[in-house]
Structure 1
Amino acid sequence: MANKVLLAYVVIDGLFVVMGAIMLGFSVIVRNIMFDTPTQGDQAARNLLYQRFPLTAGIVNAILIFATFVLTIPGIVMPTRTWLKVGAWMTTACALFSMVIGLDLWILTLKTKEDFSALWIAQTAQVMDLMQTQFQCCGYFNSSSPAFVTDATCPSPAAAALMRGCAAPITSFANIFIDNIFTAVFGMVGIDALFILAAACLLKDRKEAERFRHIDEKSGPMGTI
């Protein structure tokens, strides 16, 4: 039974460190590409959204996860419970950190329409053109607020006035995109919780094993008769 509990702990520990690697990889890659010149409207919108992501917090959390993983190794190879307790408390800190990041991303979806308007205004005509073409819209709230960029989708004021503003389709795209990201982060919190549960089971198993060992020591040779 003890081997099975330990094996489960090791497997979940592996998932835990993989989770940290995914978070670190995503944060570093996004930091490197979010200012690239876009070639498509959806890429332009994603890059603008990336610039509002808590990427630094993601990197810090990933480092904390790796540090926690290192601290769990002595708990695996040593029969004592101290390192398991330290690992469990560190994992709890990682879970709380991940939850805060997920909540921050979720909050972004509550004010995407208003916040993205400032990002839209700050873009070049080329980037606006890409997004108008991608999302088949003119201007942001409407064709005149702020004013549309003349392109194939919005060739004239009269044609632009018949088109919807970009706020609605971009907000829908952004919310779906961010929903997927923060759902993944909350899934990582679930792995943290599972890891804490595995640590608790292993702690209980080792406590019982230690209790039986003490009983055997007290009983001495007579206990084997």
Structure 2
Amino acid sequence: MISRKLVAVWSFLLVCLVAAGIVSLVLGILWKQPDLLRNLIISTSDTTAGIAMGVTFLVTALFAIIAILQPNANTMLLHVLNWILVGVGLEVVSIGTFIWYYTLTEMSDFDALWLVQSPDNIVQLQDIFQCCGYFNGTDHAVYQGFCANMATAMNNTGCFVPLTGDADVTLNNIFTTVYGFMFIIILFFLATACVINKRVELERFKRIDEKRGGTGFV
């Protein structure tokens, strides 16, 4: 019989995978809702990737439950589970790295995004961060709201520092969390490998016991 500690660890990691899937799925859906600043920092591709990752986690967890309920002699589905976990791990690393790479080019990326914003959106951003223009008060600024006073606008710093600063914190938190999910996947892979080895061992002893006439070992 597989030890209760191993079963408890495997079950705990399964719950962690389900929780990670729910968090990723819910946040991916919520972050698709209209919000000027958040939609500027977190792109549609990011939220779509989050939803896809959440669905992948939940489907993997469901498959894991089916695999663990198979008889001890049948470890094929557990082996398949570990191959699935390898694929899921590659997905997680890819998404996390994509978001991390985006943090390296924030200044130029947000400059391009700023240029395509409507005047109303720029006014909202200027009011949020109490700044004018992107790099300075003459760089695609809209002289309304906080920047209505020209003297204030001309002497005010641009919005790129607070905007990229806010984006940096948000994106760093996101890709750190995504990489944290990788920790769950690695441990779940190892726990599943331990379950496979233990089941193979038990089946081997069972066959030996049957050859001995079911008397067991001394």
For normalisation by structure 2, the TM-score amounts to: 0.90
Single out whichever of 114-123 and 162-171 deviates more from structure 2: 114-123
Query: Retained in 1: the 8 A contact 2:209–2:215?
Result: no
Q: How big is each residue's C-alpha offset from its partner over 1:114-169, in whole Å with a ceiling of 9 and x where there is no partner?
A: 111122122222221221122121100111122x2113432333322211111111
How far 1:219 sits from its partner (Å)? 1.6
**2:203 equivalent in structure 1:** 210
Query: Retained in 1: the 8 A contact 2:14–2:188?
Result: yes
**1:61 equivalent in structure 2:** 53
CA RMSD, aligned part only? 1.9
**1:117 equivalent in structure 2:** 111
1:196 paired residue among 155, 175, 189:
189
1:108 paired residue among 102, 107, 115:
102
Kindly provide the amino acid, as one letter, of the partner of residue 201 in structure 2. Answer: E
In 2, Cα distance between equivalents of 1:222 and 1:169: 75
Matches within 5 A, 1:35-184: 36=34, 38=35, 44-51=36-43, 53-78=45-70, 79=72, 80-146=74-140, 148-184=141-177
Give structure 1 regions of 4+ aligned residues with deviation exceeding 4 angstroms.
Answer: 221-225
Query: Retained in 2: the 8 A contact 1:53–1:105?
Result: no
Structure 2: runs of 5+ lacking an equivalent: none
**1:11 equivalent in structure 2:** 12
How far 1:84 sits from its partner (Å)? 1.1
Structure 1: runs of 5+ lacking an equivalent: 39-43
Kindly provide the amino acid, as one letter, of the partner of residue 113 in structure 2. Answer: L
After superposition, the Cα gap between the structure-2 partners of 1:71 and 1:52, relative to the gap in structure 1 and judged at 3 Å, is closer
Kindly provide the amino acid, as one letter, of the partner of residue 121 in structure 2. Answer: V
Kindly provide the amino acid, as one letter, of the partner of residue 17 in structure 2. Answer: F
In 2, Cα distance between equivalents of 1:210 and 1:189: 32
After superposition, the Cα gap between the structure-2 partners of 1:87 and 1:130, relative to the gap in structure 1 and judged at 3 Å, is same
In structure 2, the residue corresponding to 1:94 is in which secondary structure? helix
Kindly provide the amino acid, as one letter, of the partner of residue 64 in structure 2. Answer: T
In structure 2, the residue corresponding to 1:153 is in which secondary structure? helix
Aligned residue-pair number: 215
Identical counterparts, % of pairs: 33
For normalisation by structure 1, the TM-score amounts to: 0.87
In 2, Cα distance between equivalents of 1:47 and 1:223: 66
Q: How big is each residue's C-alpha offset from its partner over 1:56-102, in whole Å with a ceiling of 9 and x where there is no partner?
A: 23322322222222221232222221111111111121111011111
Kindly provide the amino acid, as one letter, of the partner of residue 149 in structure 1. Answer: V
Q: How big is each residue's C-alpha offset from its partner over 1:195-216, in whole Å with a ceiling of 9 and x where there is no partner?
A: 1111111112112212211221
Query: Retained in 2: the 8 A contact 1:117–1:140?
Result: yes
**1:41 equivalent in structure 2:** none
After superposition, the Cα gap between the structure-2 partners of 1:6 and 1:111, relative to the gap in structure 1 and judged at 3 Å, is same
In 1, Cα distance between equivalents of 2:157 and 2:45: 28
